[in-house]
Structure 1
C-alpha cells in the first residue's frame, strides 16, 4: 500500500479515454478488449474516477493528439505508433472515435490537458504547469495503454518529482505480456505505489477521513 493520500494534493490522470480505445466499435477496442475484459477495465475506471470526485481529489484528462489530415506525414522521425495512426486515423478529430467515452466526460472545473503527440502526457503539453498551479504532488495514472502512454507519463512524472501511483486493473494493453512488463518488471523501478482499484479507493477514502 502507499499510505494515505492528501486529497488536496492528489490528482487522478485519466489518459486517452477515447471511444476508439474504450467503446464497442472503436478502432482500437478489438485489440484492447481481451485484456480490458479480463481486468474489468471499464468498471474499474468508473470506480476510480467516481471515487476521486466523491472524495475531492482532482481529475485531470490527459488526451492523445486527435488525428487530422497531414499529421506526421512530413515528419523526419514519426514513431511506429504515429505511423499506425496515419494508416488507421485513430482518435480522428471531429469523429465519434475521437470523442471521450460517454462515461468519462470532464466535469466543471476539471482540467483537460493539451493533447500529447507521442506517449508522455508531459512532453510538449501543459500538464506539469497545470499540476503545479493546482498544488498537486501525487499523481495516479489510469487509462490506456499500460506499457506506452501510462508508463511514459508515469516515468516523466517521477523524473519531475511527483509521487506516482499505478493502478494495475484500471488500465489495459494489447497483450497480457505487456501488462506483466508494465506492472511487474518496469513499474517497480519508478512507481512509488502499484495498487489495485480496491486498494486505491480505500486509500483515497482514508485520506478523506
Structure 2
C-alpha cells in the first residue's frame, strides 16, 4: 500500500464518536469468521481478481490465521459462518448484482447439501492453512448463510446456546458478509468487535468495498481493533 492509501484508511486522529471501552470476557466471547474459503482468499479462487489487492494489502490471510490460533489457545468459542450454493439454488428467479456475479463465477459451488463429492480443495472449501483449527471437532461450523447476513443460518442459535454475548468478527468480505453479520449480531444484542485488518473488500469501478465497510464498522461496532490488538486481548486473559 502506498502512504496515500494508508492515510486514506487511517483511524481518525480526533474521533467524534465515544469509545465504548469494551473488555473481552473469555467465558462469553466467540471468534466468528465469515467465509474463510478458497474462493475469497486464494489466488486460485473465483474472486481473486477483485479481492486479491485488498487481501494482500491487509495481509488478511495471515491475520485470520493468527486470530484462529489465539482463539484456540485461549479456549474461547470459535464459529465459522460459511457460504455455499447448491444446484437447487439455480432455481432462484431473481437476485441483486452481487448474487448475479457470484452465480456467474460459480462461487462457493457444491454438488449438494448432503454430499462432499468434489468439495475438497474446491473454491467452497476452507483455506488449507485454516483447516487444522476449523476441522478440530470443536469449532462450530454453522449452516451456510445464503446472501450476506446470518439471518438464514443457525449462527446466532449456536452462539446463544454457548452463552456467548461478545463477538470478535473477522473474515470475508468486509462490506458484504462481515458487515451483514455485524449488523444482525448488533440487532440480536451482541457486543461486536470487528478486526479491521482480518478482512478485505472488492475493488471495482463502483468503489472500494473495504473503505465503505471500514466507515460503517466505526459507526456500528463496539470497537474496531487490529489483529495485534485482538490477539493481545485474548492472550491477556
Q: TM-score, normalised by structure 2?
A: 0.81
Q: What do the CA deviations read for 1:150-206 (whole angstroms, capped 9, x no partner)? A: 0010010000100011111000011383222211x2112210010000111111122
- Displacement of 1:126 in angstroms is 0.9
Query: Is residue 41 of structure 1 aligned with residue 72 of structure 2?
Result: no
Equivalent in the alignment of 2:26: 7
Aligned Cα RMSD in Å?
A: 1.6
Partner in structure 1 of residue 154 of structure 2: 126
Deviations 1:76-129 (A, max 9, x none): x32222212221111111341111111122221111001011100x21211111
Deviates more, 1:138-147 or 1:77-86: 77-86
- C-alpha separation in 2, matches of 1:167 and 1:18: 18
> Does residue 1:152 correspond to 2:171, yes or no?
no
3-state SS of 2:123 partner: helix
Matched, 1:92 2:92: no
Residues 3, 190 of structure 1: alpha-carbon distance in 2 compared, 3 angstrom cutoff = closer
Q: Which has the higher contact order (CA 8 A, sep 6+)?
A: 1
3-state SS of paired residue (1:32): helix
> Counterparts of 1:21-40 in structure 2 under 5 Å?
21-40=40-59
| CA–CA separation in structure 1 for the residues paired with 2:88 and 2:99 | 12
Q: Which residue of 2 aligns with 1:68?
A: 86
5+ residue gaps, structure 1, are none
- 1:167 aligns with 195
Q: Could you tell me how far 1:3 is from its partner in structure 2?
A: 4.3
Q: Name the TM-score, length of structure 1 as normaliser.
A: 0.91
CA distance in 2, matches of 1:43, 1:134: 27
- Verify: 1:177 aligned to 2:175, yes or no: no
C-alpha separation in 2, matches of 1:69 and 1:205: 43
Which of the two has higher C-alpha Rg? Answer: 2
Query: Aligned pairs, how many?
Result: 203
Give how far 1:149 is off. 0.4
Unpaired segments of 5 or more residues in structure 2?
A: 1-18, 111-117
Q: How far apart, CA to CA, are the structure 2 residues paired with 1:139 and 1:79?
A: 29
- SS of aligned partner of 1:37: helix
Distance in 1, matches of 2:75 and 2:24, equals 11
